[in-house]
Amino acid sequence: MVYNKVLSTIIKISEYAIRVLRAEGIFYFSIKLFYFVVGQVIGLIFYPFLWLMRVKFIPISTMAIGHLAGELDCYIKEGILDLRPQYRAVLLALKKDVVNQYFLGYWRKRILIIQNPILCILLSPFCRSMLTRYRVEKYFCGHFENASFPEIQRKYYGRPPILSLTNFDRNRGWKVLRNLGLPSDAWFACVHCRENGFGMHKNKETLRNVDINNYLSAMQEIVDRGGWVIRVGDPTMKSIPKMRNVIDYAHLSVKSDWMDVFLCASCKFFLGSNSGLSNLASVFGVLTAAANISGPISAILPYGPDDIAIPKLIWSIKENRYLSFKEIFSTSIGNFRTDSLYKEHSIIAVENSSEDVKGLAIEALEKVNGLVNYSEEDHCLQERFKSLMNETHYSYGAVSRVGAKFLQKYQYLL
């Protein structure tokens, strides 16, 4: 068993090395290889001491909000469930590399966070050593394999969320909202659409990007049902038209790290896309509804156990038709993450219609209000869709669902 585990690790490292070599060239590959080897040597020297102290370094990508939220959440839940040995976790997080410094502070009671630049440099080899690091990338970075978050979320299901908003943040957050016009007894939903103008994803792959205009009908539906809508994101996103009871918070001067946390943690539900910001809502126990899942399609089952999502449809240019979900999941197409792969195979990811996004929003609202009533046909369609997935697919095994109205409409593609 140990031999197989070692062999599997060697194969994964080799596959990763080949991908880096092809993507970045021999020069940058050589630099990364050098730092990797240095990390292994230093880790080997200090491993006995760190083993006695039960210390593991967790190399989380703090520049991506989805990884910062989800990977820390999974790590803590794994420990609560005894799915891993109990360690003293250490996170190196340079302030300039943290996407939301205020949110990071919510985890300080759970792990040791080091932000001193000198200490981060001196301790960084331990994040590369296979002996002194804990493999947190398994939670969300499964390439042509199952990510591990579905198992953790499935076993943790029914327990309270790890994080809860402080009274201090709740009170000052609602004070800001009242100044923006929300009544004190109002409820609101957050809406977010991924674009390519922010942070580490700036001007890179476009598969997961979506058009906010396709969400306007859903936003109007939320307002018509008595709620408010707060559009979250960053100032690089395109503005939305003025609508009653809709606030384009992403472009307001009150936008801040702490306010981002408050909004995601306090909304009735979070309507988004294939973007990490939805994980920020999920770790506070907020239901998320994600439209336009793509890059890969196999990520269709979202992080939160009660969450729902719908995928982009895949159009074949050669055959002039939509591919069925069986065709998508029985081939490597279901795991395609890059624009180049879609272009190479002459396929296009087609965004969900306004009607489909609105249907997802209605289902989310009914779920949080306890009014959703899935029929026998809904359950059958859900099982038919999930039965097409296997262990090679990113979100295989997750207890979250595909939107019911979407499956009813497109059941001819199952």
Rounded Cα distance between 130 and 44, Å, is: 9
Quick one: pLDDT at residue 15?
66
Q: Give the model's pLDDT for residue 205.
A: 80
Domains delineated in the chain:
2-141 (no CATH), 167-413 (3.40.50.2000)
Q: What is the pLDDT of residues 118-133, one digit of tens each?
A: 999 999 888 888 899 9
Euclidean distance between CA atoms 402 and 283, whole angstroms: 20
Question: Nearest-CA neighbor of 158 among 365, 306, 368?
Answer: 306
Q: Residue 392, exposed/middle/buried by CB under 10 A (0-12, 13-18, 19+)?
A: middle
CA 250, CA 194: separation in Å to the nearest integer?
A: 12
DSSP of 330-370, one letter per residue?
TSGGGG--SHHHHHHTTEEEEPPPHHHHHHHHHHHHHHHTT
Output DSSP code: residue 276.
T
- The pLDDT-based confidence of 44 (bands split at 50, 70, 90) is confident
| pLDDT, tens only, 159-213 | 999 999 999 999 999 999 999 999 999 999 999 999 876 555 555 788 999 999 9
Name the band, by pLDDT with cuts 50, 70 and 90, for residue 361. Answer: very high
pLDDT of 3 above 60:
no
Q: Which single residue is written with the structure tokens 């859900």? A: 382
Entry pTM? 0.89
